[in-house]
Structure 1
Amino acid sequence: MQIYPELEPELISNDRLLNLSKEDIDLAIRVGPSPNSGMKQRRIGQFKDVLCGHSSFMKDGADVANAYIANSWQGAHIYHQFKHRKTKVELEFTAKAKCVANSFHTCLSLLNNRVGIGVVPDFLFEQMKPELVEIFPEYQLPINKVYAVYPFMDTLPLNVRVILTEIERQLGAKGNP
């Protein structure tokens, strides 16, 4: 935010659904559309999750169905539906979470420490190869749409506009439409 050095946003990283009005939050970025809340939402990008694990963990003959590290929003019973990249044949994967964490970065740390497998956004997975490897490299998970959600119906305040523009630029830089 070098263009606006006096802009000092407060960032809240949370996987829970927050009440923007009640908590005085001007802008939320979320995966998937928000439930009908009276808030304005706009699609700003997309990504795909990649089911992966550390290469050393996988080389040791891991039992992937019993090694799932889940984020709390996923729950303990995991279900993923993949499609083959070329033939579009579907593959279903189910597992019971070995561990559930309330933070993506905790899950990622567990993957990096060879504790199990889990989902990572494709743009992060690409940065973490070859340490992390795909569980089903010929298959892919569906697209996750990313939305900006805010309480302003008309004109966005300058601070929200500036931050939203930068987030959209970063999402575009990652190869997202």
Structure 2
Amino acid sequence: MLSALPLTFVAIVERGSITQAATNLNLAKSAVSQNLKRLEAQLGVKLATRTTRKFNLTPAGERYYARCKEILILSQMASTEMEDFGATPSGPIIITAPHAMIAPVIAPAMKKVMSKFSLLRPTVIADDKRLDLVAGGIDLSITVGPLPDSSLKAQKVGTLRDVLCVCPKLLNSLQGAADTHILEAIQSLPYIAHAREDHVVEHTLLQEHTEKTLRVRFRPTFFSNAIDAMVSFAREGLGVALLPDLAVIDELEKGTLVKVFPDYAVDKEPIYAVHAYDTLPPRSVREIIDAVKAGLKGSPFS
């Protein structure tokens, strides 16, 4: 496996800039830039020319990048082949998934896999962003929503649906509103938005058995970058929030949160298991994918 400096270089090349590589590696931009300088100093060659707008590989950089990719692929193939020869999965494995999926899906899946392969040493990265698997040395990503075109291998493992939720007390404050004005009244409530949402948020909700649609529009009064935090804020009555069904199972069962429009929902989104193995992934990765898929199949929202 490549060391940190070559992996940083691969990330810069594949993301197209130091800034994007820093975002995907969860490092400061200055740290990524310094790593590139250290690598060039170690190798004694210029790998890239960079300006404020462009990052271009030199001929030496192109050759070095190609060799780094070969090493990564060979390393992955070696791990897979040893497991296929009967070796028990062991050692480090890195998985990434959105925050909302850790408790209800990833944790039970890892418990199931670890009971079979106790010598595995997992690292689970909870991140709502899609991280660079190759540059980060990540074995498996569980991700939600349509996938961009790439050379990565993807397998659909389930679906997720966002639910418009609110605490009962806040919803009950609208009891005086006339039925004809209930939509306007709900849209006037405070709204908790994810940091990636805009300052005006629109959602189209679908009533599945009639295919009727309902459009709702909110102006966020509260932003957060973490789903679990949004659940807590909604539970405290700070506003309406659009939350993944997997993240609010307990709250809906307990009644600490309720659906704003029980007969309507946002369209389902696919959940994928994504990896960078060119051929068959290692047995450990396959086992985790199967465990995640089984857990999602057993979800009351599936």
Query: Which protein has greater RCO, CA pairs closer than 8 Å, 6+ apart?
Result: 1
Give me the whole-angstrom Cα distance separating, in 1, the residues matched to 2:123 and 2:199: 31
Rounded to whole Å, the distance in 1 between the matches of 2:242 and 2:117 is: 35
1:164 equivalent to 2:289? Answer yes
Q: Which runs of 5+ in 1 are unaligned?
A: none
1:118 aligns with 2:231: no
Match of 1:139 in 2: 264
Correspondences of 1:14-163 after superposition (within 5 Å): 14-61=127-174, 64-65=186-187, 66-129=189-252, 130-163=255-288
Amino acid at match of 2:235: N
TM-score, structure 1 as length reference = 0.90
CA distance in 1, matches of 2:197, 2:283: 35
- More off after superposition, 81-90 vs 121-130: 121-130
Worse-matched range after superposition: 76-85 or 89-98? 76-85
Q: 1:176 to 1:67 in 2, by over 3 A?
A: closer
Secondary structure class of the residue paired with 1:2: helix
Aligned partners of 2:241 and 2:132: how far apart in 1?
28
Does the 8 Å CA contact 1:15/1:73 hold for their aligned counterparts? no
Q: Which amino acid aligns with 2:259?
A: E
How many Å separate the matches in 2 of 1:99 and 1:87? 33
1:37 is paired with a residue of what secondary structure?
coil
Give the superposition deviation at 1:176: 6.5
Could you report, residue by residue, the CA deviation over 1:55-103 in whole angstroms, capped at 9, with x for unpaired residues?
A: 1221223954341111223333322111124321111111122122111
Report the 3-state secondary structure (helix = DSSP H, G, I; strand = E; otherwise coil) of the residue aligned with 1:128.
helix
Residue pair 2:231, 2:247 contacting (<8 A) in 1 also = no
Cα gap change, 1:4/1:176 in structure 2, threshold over 3 Å: closer, same or farther? farther
> What runs of 5+ residues in structure 2 fail to find an aligned partner?
1-113, 176-184
| Partner Cα distance (1:152, 1:76) in 2 | 39
Q: In structure 1, how many angstroms separate the alpha carbons of the residues matched to 2:169 and 2:228?
A: 20
More displaced 10-residue stretch of structure 1: 46-55 or 66-75: 66-75
Name which one, 1 or 2, has greater alpha-carbon Rg.
2
1:24 partner letter: G
Q: Does 1:5 align with 2:118?
A: yes
Instruction: Specify the code of the residue in structure 2 equivalent to 1:167.
Output: V
1 or 2, which has the higher strand percentage? Answer: 1
For 1:75 and 1:27, locate their aligned partners in 2 and report how far apart those are by CA, in whole Å.
30
Shift of 1:157: 1.1
Query: Counterpart amino acid of 1:26?
Result: D
Change (3 A) 1:158 1:176: farther
Percent of aligned pairs with the same amino acid: 26
Letter in 1 for 2:201: I
Q: Which amino acid aligns with 1:131?
A: T
Question: What TM-score, normalized to structure 2?
Answer: 0.55
For residue 16 of structure 1, what is the amino acid of its counterpart?
Answer: K
CA distance in 1, matches of 2:279, 2:173: 56
Q: Distance in 2 between matches of 1:143 and 1:19?
A: 25
